[in-house]
Amino acid sequence: MKVIITLEHRFDRTPDGRVWTQTTFPYSFWQRYLKVFDRVCVVARIRDVLSVDSDWQLASGDMVSFAAIPNYLGPVQYLRKIASVKQVVRATVGPNDAIIMRVPSQISNDLQPYLKRNNHPYAVEVVADPYDVFAPGSIDHPLRPLFQWLFPRTLRRICANAAAAVYVTKLALQQRYPCTNFSVGVSDVVLPKDRLVTEPRPVRQDLDVVTLVYVGTMSQMYKAPDVLIKAVAACIKQGLNLQLYMLGDGQYRSQLEALAAAQDVGDRIQLLGQLASGDAVQTQLDRSDLFVLASYQEGLPRAMVEAMARGLPCIGSTVGGIPELLPPEDMVVPGDIDALARKIREVVTDPKRMARMSARNLEKAREYRDDVLQQQRTDFYQHVRDCTEAWVASK
């Protein structure tokens, strides 16, 4: 049986027909589905390019194909191309295919009514919360209040009508977007054993310069990189010797560089751009002393789990699945620059606390080892296949 998977990630395709990703969803990611399904067809935005950089990862491969929909960015561009998107998506779905939609997603918002009209069962993988995505400060758009009302309502409907749902959180997303049928909470973070350090970081009294690291998109502002820059600037003005490295790219990168310069900390904050996932990111994590992610919204942040696996102390915000990773004393409310600055100062001036955070985070990260979670995912995929086969047999 073939499984159709829809998601909002953007891929690139070279003239030889191969599909590539710069960050997440390489070919190895899709192997988890092939443990249950015979073939995988990914429906996503794809841009045709002449070549990709050497550190990009192959996404397509044996038994994993892609159905390309027009490349778009944001709801407005989606509306301009909606007819073409619908045509590709509906032409891809066969009458005997299993359907798994990674939500929230513009593609799933269009596909779900079509599936419902045809009584075609589907499953969802809930990876983020649109209510927080469109929270004040997280996105700059005149229709933000409308989107914050509309998209959560749409996601609740999609989840309520799903034959099965898997959530990347243990409780947070389930409470807002319940599925009345089969559901389970399983992180989609892929954390191989070799990504976990063997020992937590020791107490260090010799931190002349404390290195902070941020990993996240700059295509939108919902991960609050601007809040982090302002908080770090406030700490530096108070006398702390900090260096911040920011990994990620997007349309707001130049604006963030200008913000750092305006805060007079341009020499203390370096925006490194998008590094290839894997060794390059891990190297930067290992060189850092503290990971900070003060997002307005999250599902279960992969970057934070990967930082915890390297024994990094972490500061996060009280949104999405972050409270499932960090204790209350290591979190702040989103958007509060002063609170974030105080929290950074509390942590970096207390080496013993940083060592305790390292040990606790490493222990928590061990719960997200891929070999621990894989069986739960496989059971979920098998349930989706069983539901689809029962429906096909009943027609």
Computed over every residue of the chain, the mean pLDDT equals 92
CATH of domain 2-189+369-394: 3.40.50.2000
Full DSSP string of 293-331: E--S--SS-HHHHHHHHTT--EEEESSTTGGGTS-GGGE
Is there a common fold for 2-189+369-394 and 193-367? yes
pTM score, whole prediction: 0.83
**CA dist., res. 128 & res. 77, Å (int):** 21
Domain range annotation of the chain: 2-189+369-394, 193-367
> Of 275, 351, 340, which Cα lies nearest the Cα of 306?
275
Please state which CATH class domain 193-367 belongs to: alpha beta
What integer pLDDT is reported at residue 49 of this predicted model?
Answer: 95
Kindly report, residue by residue over 110-160, the tens digit of the pLDDT.
899 999 999 999 999 999 999 887 878 777 778 888 888 999 999 999 999
Confidence band, pLDDT 50/70/90 cuts, at residue 250: confident
> Of 332, 259, 323, 261, which Cα lies nearest the Cα of 292?
332
* Backbone torsion region of residue 147, taken as left when φ is above 0, otherwise alpha when ψ lies between -120 and 50, otherwise beta: alpha
- E strands within 104-158? 123-126
Confidence band, pLDDT 50/70/90 cuts, at residue 276: low
* DSSP-derived pairing of the beta strands 242-247 and 98-103: unpaired
